[in-house]
Amino acid sequence: MPDLKHFPVGTDAETISKVLDEDGALILDNVISEDFIRELRRETDPYMDGTDNGVDDFTGRKTTRTGGLLMRSQRCRELIAHADILDYSNAFLAPYCERVQLHLTQIIRIRPGETVQPIHRDKWAWGKHLSHLEPQFNTIWALTDFTAENGATRVVSGSTKWPDDQHATPDQITQAEMKAGSVLIYSGSVFHSGGENRSAGDRIGINITYTLGWLRQEENQYLTCPPELAKTLPLELQEIAGYAMGQYALGYYTPPGQPGEHPEVVPPQYALGHAVAAGMTGDVETALGHESS
């Protein structure tokens, strides 16, 4: 079985994009520290511990999936806006969009006794209508060591160009074994799945994924992070969450109110209190003090 390539954080975006296009996945080693993981878990473990197991074989009957991380954890916000990850995401998805947005946030805990998840492509979230392009840049941040025994993510390296109905053989499947603090990066087109946990402990990772600005997000950020909460975030996170135009004329709205009370057509930033240029381009002229966290 082919091994996944490992790189240090800071590797240039062109190299990352090339490997993702060819292999579909890679690992960045030792990106966050033990102290960072400890703080992140202090913020998120109560939510994870309050999450029920899945109800079918795909979500995992011994797996918990905890979302809404944009507003639940400062450390998760730092991961979402990690400068290197955003650079890689923007470079990889640039051929298909003018803006990248947050697709989902989810802590995935695979508990002892969990069986293998069915092999799939994440871009099937939109059905099988996007076979002609790459819609996703995905990350799984390891909060525990990922091992073959505890359910490290299974990846079919080199499967990005396969037809949707092709099946992987056991010798084509590898596992993303990595130390806590490392990151698995993979595309929406690579075949993969969660692994079987044959160990006595949990395998815990944070799945943070990004998609094209003109596609609907899997995790509805506007309900998870409505305007009254989004106002408290830095401008960069507001826009990553989707409070920005997807491209020209995509995502504007007409504010409710009395005749002449508001501009007729504004971009989403207007809902967060930003002064904006009227029209469908949605360029922010002046931010009103919401840039600091």
Residues 1-58: pLDDT tens digits?
679 999 999 999 999 999 999 999 999 999 999 999 999 999 999 999 999 999 999 9
Q: Does residue 89 carry a pLDDT above 60?
A: yes
- Give the Cα separation of 157 and 146 in Å (integer): 17
| pLDDT, tens digit (0-9, with 9 covering 90-100), for 155-166 | 999 999 999 999
**Mean per-residue pLDDT, 253-266:** 92
- 144, 191: one domain: yes
- Give the Cα separation of 229 and 200 in Å (integer): 39
- 8 Å CB contact between 208 and 72: no
Domain count, the chain: 2
137 in a structural domain? yes
Q: Which of 212, 238, 265 is the last residue of a domain?
A: 212
1 in a structural domain? no
Tokens of 103: 């697709």
72 in a structural domain? yes
Q: Which of 189, 212, 235 is the last residue of a domain?
A: 212
Reported confidence tier of residue 275, pLDDT bands at 50, 70, 90: confident
- Give the Cα separation of 238 and 235 in Å (integer): 5
Cα atoms in the 13 Å half-sphere on the side-chain side of 279: 7
Q: Does residue 170 carry a pLDDT above 80?
A: yes
- 143, 244: one domain: no
193 in a structural domain? yes
Write down the pLDDT at residue 128: 94
25 in a structural domain? yes
Nearest Cα residue to 185 out of 125, 137, 136: 137
- H-state helical runs in 96-234: 221-224, 227-230
pTM, whole model, 2 decimals? 0.93
Q: Between the CA atoms of 148, 152, 157 and 159, what dihedral angle is there, to the nearest 10 degrees?
A: 120
Write down the pLDDT at residue 278: 58
- 145, 119: one domain: yes
Q: Going along the chain, which residue ranges are E strands?
A: 6-8, 25-29, 63-66, 100-110, 125-128, 136-142, 154-155, 174-175, 183-187, 192-193, 203-212, 275-276, 284-286
Cα atoms in the 13 Å half-sphere on the side-chain side of 83: 3
Q: Does residue 229 carry a pLDDT above 90?
A: yes
| pLDDT, tens digit (0-9, with 9 covering 90-100), for 172-211 | 999 999 999 999 999 999 999 999 999 999 999 999 999 9
133 in a structural domain? yes
Q: Does residue 268 carry a pLDDT above 90?
A: yes
CB environment 278-293: b (16+ within 10 A), e (fewer): eeeebebeebeebeee
Reported confidence tier of residue 281, pLDDT bands at 50, 70, 90: low
- 8 Å CB contact between 56 and 223: no
Question: What residues make up the domain containing 190?
Answer: 6-212
Q: Which of 212, 234, 269 is the last residue of a domain?
A: 212
Write down the pLDDT at residue 248: 87
- 248, 123: one domain: no
DSSP state, 54?
P
CATH number for the domain including 47? 2.60.120.620
- 263, 199: one domain: no
220 in a structural domain? no
By the 10 Å C-beta count (0-12 exposed, 13-18 middle, 19+ buried), 269 is classed as buried
